[in-house]
Every structure is written in C-alpha cells, then in structure tokens.
Amino acid sequence: MSNQTLEQRDGFKSKWGFILACIGSAVGMGNIWRFPIMVQKYGGMTFLLPYFLFVILIGASGVIEEFALGRWAGAGPVGAFGKCTEERTGKRTVGEAIGAIPIVGSMMLAIGYTVVMGWIFKYCWMGISGSLYALGTDMGAIGGTFGAAAPETETLGEAVSMMVSNGIFGVGNGSWLIVGLIISAIIMAMGVSGGIEKANKIMMPLLFGLFVCLGVYIFTLDGSSAGYKYIFTLDPKGLLNPEVWVYAFGQAFFSLSVAGNGSVIYGSYLPKDEDLPSSARNVAIFDTLAALLAAFVIIPAMAVVLGEGISEVNGGPGLMFVYLVNVFNSMPGGRIVGMIFYICVLFAGVSSIINLYEAPVAFLQEKLHMKRLPSVAVISVIGCIVALLIQPWTSQWMDVVSIYICPLGAMLAGIMFFWVLKKETALAAVNEGGKKASIGNWFYPLGKYVYVIAALVALIAGAAYGGIG
C-alpha cells in the first residue's frame, strides 16, 4: 500500500532539480557558522585536507547508499527499513519500528531548525530594512538584539515555563518563527516537483551567486589577505593531532546530511533511470563548494575588521548573529554586505528545513494515507507548537538530536542496506540507471565495513566530545 501511496505523489522531474534539492538539504548552518571557524581554528589546509578525504569517503558510501535505499523501496525510512527486513526475514514489523528512529530525528531536528529559521528571517528583514546596520558596532546593542530573540534557560522545563508564563509572543522570536515556518510549509504543500524542486532551482543558484559576489568584494578590501593566509595555512605537524581528524570527520559527516531520513526520502522521489553515483558526487562537490565559499567570505571579512583577533572567535549562532553583524557594520559597504549575507543564509536555511520536514510529511502519506496538504499542515502545526515552546532551550535540543539521533539514524540506514538487505539486491539498487560499469567491487565493502563503522564512530565521538559536527 505504501508503494501505491508514493506513486500518487509526484517526484523530481529533472536530474539537476534532484541534485539542487539535495545540495539545499546539505547546505545548512553548519556550512556557515561552523565550517569557517573549524578551518581557521585548525590551520586552514591542515583541517581541509582530512575534511576533503572524509567528504570523498562519505559521499562515495553513505550518500549513495541512502539515495539507493529510498529509490529501491519507493518509500521513506519506515517503509524502506521494513522492506529490508521483509526481504531478509519475511516480516516488515521490526524494520518499520526501527525506521521510526530517523523519522523522529528528522522531526526533532526540523523543530530546532524552525527556531533558528525564525532568527534568520528576523535578521534578513533587519538587513533589508537597514535596522541591522543601524546597530553599528555597539556590541551591547548587537548582543542584546540577539539575546532578546534567543533567550536561554538551563532545562527544558524552565524553557516551557518561561514561554507559557510570558505568553508565547511575550518572549523570544515567535512571530518570525511562524513566518519562516509558513513560507517553508507553502513550498512543501506545493509538492516535490512544484514546490521543493522549483524552490531549490531558484534558491541554490542565487545562494552560490551571491556568495561569489560577496567573496569578490571582500577580496578587494584591505586586510582580507590575513584571512586567506589562515585558509591556506598547512602545518604538517597539525595533521598528527587526532582532534583535527575527529572534527574534520564530524564536519564532513554532518554536512552531507547522512542521517537515514532526508536523503532516503529524496531518493524515493528519484526516477529509476538516474545515475546515483553521479548524483551523489555532484551533491558532495557542491556542498563542499558552498562551505568553502562561506569560509572565503567569513574568514577574510573577519580579518578585515579583527585582524589577529579572528583566532579568538567561536562558531555557532554567536558567530552569525553577533560577531558577523559587528564585522559587516564595520566595513565599507557593510549595510549591503550584511543584507546579501543574510539573504544567502535564508536560502540555506529554507532549503534545509523543507528537507527535514519532508521525511515526517512523507511518513503520514505512507502509513496513514493522508494527502499532501493535510500531511504538511499536521506536521507544520506540531512543529510550530513545539518550536515556540522550546525557544529558550534550542541549543540543548539541537545537541541531543545531532549528537545522538542523527548518527544513529545514519548507522541504522547503513546496517539495513549493507547488512540486512541481500548483497545482490543492494548492488542492483545502486547500479540501476547507471551509465557506467558496476561500482560493486569497491562500493559494497567500503559501505559495509568502513561507512557503518564510521557512523558508529560519529555517535561515540559526538558523545565524548559534546558534538563533532
């Protein structure tokens, strides 16, 4: 029945529509507020070399696997995992139950992202209206503006209590949160080809184009050369530091969005004649280019204003909503630079959040046989309510999901594809539609013995380090 339900839904109509949607799902806040700082912190090329290595590893195994799993099953994680166990044991129940874990992870991450999207929409509007530039370089005003939009509490209970006692719109950033979610929901409600694909065909080229323009402009500013020096630094001794490899791996793993949910469901919308290895390669390349563009904008921009002080700045929301506001407002043409930057961030955020919500939306379509619009409405309402309530606890919420649930979902998807599904079925799923020779000779052992273990390492290392991506 789930396959029949999926056949009633549309899918991606073009190769590049699919690739751009997948790039959009991968290009997120990690590319913007974390990657540049990792590049700077660990010595530029000293970090980039292992990062590139891990991108190749994960792109050539996990990304292909999740696309193939979704397309083979014609379903999201629940249906796909169930079909895997059905082939092996004749029963779907256990697989479907396990498949609920990535769905929960996708929904939880989407809820946290909904809060972040509220911040992004607010700052994008402030950039357009000029009120962001009006803050000048007063760090008290800049920090206070973000603090008002993103209050913090120690526990989830305190967060909910704060929101309820002050009224949902009495604290935090509720209005912009709802605006961001409504716009994302409209895109999702328009369908895969009519909404998600078309939106990404617009947003992704604009994101790359605008980032290139920012990079070229910042290149012309005095002092930017110090930023490029950071990026191109290579310290061979630094490659002996295990921490460099751990964080490079974590950045690559999470940047490529392997979590057993979004890539699986996007794969389920893919035509049978699409070459999966080629698509996975393009996604990995363009996601890496987006991260590099962000680094070539942010690091030199900070060097223009802060000089050597760049080494003292941490990543995360504080970088994007506090430090960079000060940086942009301090440089020539800062109002325009800030406006364009937050428009780019908006495109990255919207493209990611529609991917995260798509997995639970598709779940309602598969299992409850709901139509597209009611499914989007139900998931959006649930996401909105929970996001409004957890606003003061967003950082901790995102940590729980990214440290534990996402790598667990990726590992489970890998186990299902490489260990539960029969080898001949898995290889046929990967090679279906391929224009070149079979990739089975290297792909299957790489995925079965390296990628699945790598996903386990992501889970363990994330717990040990308090997050690695």
94's enclosing H/E stretch is helix 93-129
One digit per residue, pLDDT tens: the chain, 469 residues? 344 444 455 578 778 888 888 888 877 777 888 888 888 888 889 999 999 999 999 999 999 999 999 999 999 999 999 999 999 999 999 999 999 999 999 999 999 999 999 999 999 999 999 999 999 989 899 999 999 999 999 999 999 999 999 988 888 899 999 999 999 999 999 888 888 888 889 988 998 999 999 999 999 988 888 888 888 888 888 899 999 999 999 999 988 888 888 889 988 888 888 888 888 888 899 889 988 998 898 889 888 887 654 556 666 788 889 888 988 998 888 899 999 999 999 998 898 899 899 999 999 988 888 999 999 999 999 999 999 999 999 999 999 998 999 999 999 999 999 999 999 999 999 988 777 656 778 899 999 999 999 999 999 999 998 888 7
The pTM score is 0.91
Q: Please tell me the predicted confidence (pLDDT) of residue 86.
A: 94
Distance of CA 370 to the CA centre of its chain: 27
358-396 pLDDT tens trace: 999 999 988 888 999 999 999 999 999 999 999 999 999
Q: DSSP letters of 11-48?
A: ---SHHHHHHHHHHHH-SHIIIIIHHHHHHHTTTHHHH
Domains and CATH numbers, the chain: 2-465 (1.20.1740)
Dist. CA 68–CA 434, nearest whole Å: 12
Two tokens, residue 37:
């700082």
CA angle 221/222/224 to nearest 5° reads 75
Query: Please, are residues 2 and 86 in contact by the beta-carbon 8 Å criterion?
Result: no
Q: Please tell me the predicted confidence (pLDDT) of residue 223.
A: 86
Look at phi and psi of residue 361 and say left if phi exceeds 0, alpha if psi is from -120 to 50, else beta.
alpha
Distances (CA, A) of 235 to 50, 126, 231: 13, 40, 12
8-50 pLDDT tens trace: 555 787 788 888 888 888 777 778 888 888 888 888 899 999 9
Q: Please tell me the predicted confidence (pLDDT) of residue 5.
A: 43
